[in-house]
Amino acid sequence: MTTLDEARAMDAGDALAPLRARFAAPEGLIYLDGNSLGMLPADSVAASADMVTRQWGERLIRSWNEGWIDAPARIGGLIAPLIGAATDEVIACDSTSVNLFKLIVAGLREAGRRDPKRRVVVSEAGNFPTDLHIAAGAVGCVAGAELRVVPRDGVAEALGDDTALLLLTHVHYKSGARFDMAAWTARAQAAGALMLWDLSHSAGAVAVDLNGAGADLAVGCGYKYLNGGPGAPAFLFVTARWQAELANPLSGWMGHAAPFGFADGYVPADGIERWLTGTPPMLAMGALEAGLRLWQGADLTAVEAKSAALFDILLAAGTRAGLECVTPRDPAARGSHISFRHPEAHAIVQALIARDIVGDFRAPDVARFGLTPLTLSHEAVWRAGEALVDVIATGAWDRAEYRARAAVT
């Protein structure tokens, strides 16, 4: 059990502490939801104002030649070092869902071209819903393809000579459990399948090494740990090994080899730009770029170590409150959030929100708390832990207004 003095001592020795001042944190709020929507970097206020007032308002259409047209690849290049990718293997565009569709269809086609038996996408039951929903839509777009959703402990044996693609979310959105990227990539590839990782809960949360693991494909989210703003553009990764082979089914003009040649026929761009589709939403791209600037030079080993310390503080409190922690204890086996199961998890989260401690409820029974090392002090997490203990011990959660569900829970 950590004491307040110990938490403060940890803050005093925290190499990442100076980064906290670079966020516009609301006074008095303890925000344990940076894994759902990252906080606002202070620099993003000026960057967004510049995007609106100068780049859009003054420069207008000329801005396309003054930085906009290259933004998706440039921003991809800022994400690359956070996920163990080369600069020209990552591009920022569309939503995670749309990018999943592109890569699942492309992967299915490529696998089928090499071996027509390979028609199955394997994924995990309880994966983040959009992964399964999009995969179901994508298999409907490739003749003969099929989605096989199996329990987590059945994934390995579900791989076979009909598998085209293994789709896994690296860090589970609910439990926080992390797959061993290298081991699972090797397992998928040994079975003859392509490996597609969803990094939504791991990019910026843990040290990711796609190329170290030899991964084929990946997608991820810009608005969580990357602090890119609500609904920020997502990203996708295609290993250099596959870039010439794989084709984007959402073959829009921005992925064309010469978008401003205005030819009727589609010719894909040579590199990662072929994964673009429509015109990028520049206001959202600008905020994502500003958020990523904060990450430049960040030591992901230090980020992981601080995440582990924050986890221990909240785990001790939750345990004291009698809550069941569903997140693995081994730091290498988890991401950067902690989840507790409780039948009244929704009301508990609401009672904490009423005390300005913002976590997340995830249906049906999980209280989830994001541990974002760039924005949280050890003391803040300690205070959240004390509040959690108090809310449970006093039954403060037990109010009808805390049970009532809003549109977004």
To its own copies, the closest distance from the beta carbon of 113 in angstroms equals 13
To its own copies, the closest distance from the beta carbon of 120 in angstroms equals 17
Residue keyed to tokens 């998706």: 72
Conformation bin of residue 254: beta by default, left when phi > 0, alpha when psi is -120 to 50: alpha
- Annotated active-site residue 223? The verdict is yes
Token pair listed for 296: 């430049």
Q: Judged by CB, which is closer to its own copies: 181, or 342?
A: 342
Burial of 408: CB neighbours in 10 Å, binned 0-12, 13-18, 19+ = exposed
Please pick, among 119, 174, 368, 383, the residue that the annotation labels catalytic: 368
Please pick, among 102, 119, 178, 224, the residue that the annotation labels catalytic: 224
Q: Judged by CB, which is closer to its own copies: 81, or 252?
A: 252
Q: How many CB atoms lie within 10 A of CB 263?
A: 11
To its own copies, the closest distance from the beta carbon of 405 in angstroms equals 8
- Annotated active-site residue 174? The verdict is no
Q: Which whole-number Å values give the CA distances from 231 to 25, 82, 133, 228, 281, in the listed order?
A: 19, 20, 18, 8, 11
Q: Judged by CB, which is closer to its own copies: 215, or 232?
A: 232
Please pick, among 128, 179, 237, 340, the residue that the annotation labels catalytic: 128
Please pick, among 33, 131, 162, 198, the residue that the annotation labels catalytic: 198
To its own copies, the closest distance from the beta carbon of 163 in angstroms equals 19
120-124, strands of its sheet edge to edge:
90-93, 234-238, 217-220, 194-198, 163-169, 120-124, 146-150
Q: Judged by CB, which is closer to its own copies: 51, or 90?
A: 51
Rounded CA-CA distance 144/34 in Å is 40
Rounded CA-CA distance 250/255 in Å is 9
To its own copies, the closest distance from the beta carbon of 390 in angstroms equals 22
Give me the half-sphere count of Cα atoms (radius 13 Å) on the Cβ side of residue 88.
9
To its own copies, the closest distance from the beta carbon of 109 in angstroms equals 9
- Annotated active-site residue 117? The verdict is no
Is residue 328 within 8 A of residue 334, CB to CB? The reply is yes
Q: Judged by CB, which is closer to its own copies: 232, or 303?
A: 232
Residue keyed to tokens 């606002």: 40
Burial of 28: CB neighbours in 10 Å, binned 0-12, 13-18, 19+ = exposed
Q: Judged by CB, which is closer to its own copies: 223, or 311?
A: 223
158 SS3 class: helix
Write the DSSP string, 177-200. Answer: BB--HHHHHHHHHHTT-EEEEE-T
**b/e burial code for range 2-23 (CB count within 10 A of at least 16 → b):** beeeebeebbeebebbebbebb
Q: Judged by CB, which is closer to its own copies: 260, or 297?
A: 260
Residue keyed to tokens 């990028």: 280
To its own copies, the closest distance from the beta carbon of 183 in angstroms equals 25
- Give me the active site residues, please: 128, 198, 223-224, 368
